[in-house]
Amino acid sequence: MMRITRDSALRKGSACVPALVGAWCVACAASRIPLRLEAEQPTTLRVGQVAAVQLTEREEVVGKAGEALALIERSRARGARTYLYRAVRAGSQTLVVEPTDLHDGDCISCVTTHYYIRVVR
């Protein structure tokens, strides 16, 4: 008959702790990996999720409607611009992107791109 002591029970229980911590870290990391938004396609995010808008050097986000997202980072690298947004509250948001090289008389609505985001809890 195997005798279970307090020390052996603690050793068995402590073997589960690294597995639980590892699973928790993977879940946290997954929520920090930005979801890439697609132009003209509706996207649903959960509060706390991070989303990325990747644009060419000749485009930029020029407007937004809604308060569901907060800009957390803007960067430029290798001919591209990246905007990172965090979903901060439930609601809808639209981002408006235009080329940076528009001239007087250019058709703005012909070249404007939209990103539609819905944030849920």
Can you give the pLDDT at residue 32?
A: 72
Buried b (16+ CB within 10 A) or exposed e, 38-55: eeeeebebeeebbbebeb
Q: Which value, to the nearest 10 degrees, does the dihedral of the CA atoms of residues 33, 39, 43, 49 take?
A: 30
pLDDT digits (tens, 9 = 90+) for 30-40: 557 899 999 99
Q: Number of H helices and number of E strands within the chain?
A: 2, 8
CA pair distance 29, 43, nearest whole angstrom: 20
Per residue in 49-82, pLDDT tens? 999 999 999 999 999 999 999 999 999 999 999 9
**Domains along the chain?**
34-120 (2.60.40.2020)
Question: Is the pTM of the predicted complex or chain greater than 0.85?
Answer: no
- At residue 31, the pLDDT reads 57
- Per-residue pLDDT, 50: 97
Q: Which strands make up the sheet holding 42-46, listed edge to edge?
A: 42-46, 113-120, 91-99, 59-65
- pLDDT tens digits, one per residue of 87-105: 999 999 999 999 999 888 8
